[in-house]
Amino acid sequence: MKNFFKYFLAFTCFMLFFGCSSDDNDNDNNTSKSQKRITRYVSSFPQKDEKWLYDDKKRLIEIVESKIKTIFTYDQYDRVAKAMKYSIAFPENAYDSTFFHYNDEEIVIEHGWSKTKYILNNEGQPIQEFRKGLGPSYSLQKEFTYQNGNMIKVKIADAKYEFTYDNKKNILADYPVGIRLLAYERYMNSLGFISKNNIISSKFYGGETLFETIPYQLTYDNDGYIVKSESIVGYEIISY
């Protein structure tokens, strides 16, 4: 159970989405011009050392690791339309593709033969996750609860995860929604939650029994952004 919880923190959801309307996107884009941008991300679990590259609109267009790069394409509203992974040794053809389909009150993420659908609240945050494979129908996977713009609980069948937060801004709060989505698949505490602030404690319950509590030690720069996160799971280092 302990290993499962650690794995959950590293890969919280296969595809979890933070959606918003085109008006919200316009506001985010205007705000993000004055915000910091991640240039390097390093973590111990999973082991990563990435460079983040941007275009002249400050949109993330590539994440480059030693052997892999992910290229992002945007639609007319500056929303991520697709994310394509390439081997640096063989850059001609993508070996992995993810497509983003935006609707008013739900998001559908298409990845290979699977589709994940998220029902959104009035803040554009997912409150339910449904998944469909080769079959004709979706099944409920997770339910999410928020408080003050932060995801405080994730319910999965009889298990649940609860989180507490600091009062500092999450660096991804001003990134496009597709980038925040990717954080759920790829990253740990600092980047991997759809919230306004940063997690300082995680709890895992089986039924109503508390199995484990994981505190996080966060280090900030002079502007209040995380530069390091440490826990029993591992560490993350973020450069701007």
Domain residues of the chain, as ranges? 2-239
Alpha helices, DSSP H only, in the chain? 2-10, 22-32, 177-186
pLDDT score of 15: 33
Give, for 4, the enclosing helix (H) or strand (E): helix 2-10
pLDDT score of 104: 84
pLDDT score of 18: 35
pLDDT score of 34: 59
- Per-residue exposure over 145-180, b if at least 16 CB sit within 10 Å of its own CB, e if not: ebeeebbbebeeeebbbbbebbebbbbbbbbbbbbb
- Residue 98: closest CA among 87, 114, 82: 82
* Dihedral pair phi/psi, residue 128, rounded to 5°: -145, 145
- The alpha carbons of the chain give a radius of gyration, in whole angstroms, of 17
Beta carbons of 238 and 40 less than 8 angstroms apart: yes
pLDDT score of 24: 41
pLDDT along the chain (240 residues), means of 10: 43 35 40 74 92 96 94 94 94 92 89 90 85 94 94 95 95 83 74 87 96 97 95 95
Beta carbons of 99 and 93 less than 8 angstroms apart: no
pTM equals 0.80
Beta carbons of 202 and 161 less than 8 angstroms apart: yes
Beta carbons of 212 and 2 less than 8 angstroms apart: yes
Place of tokens 């799971």: 233
pLDDT score of 177: 73
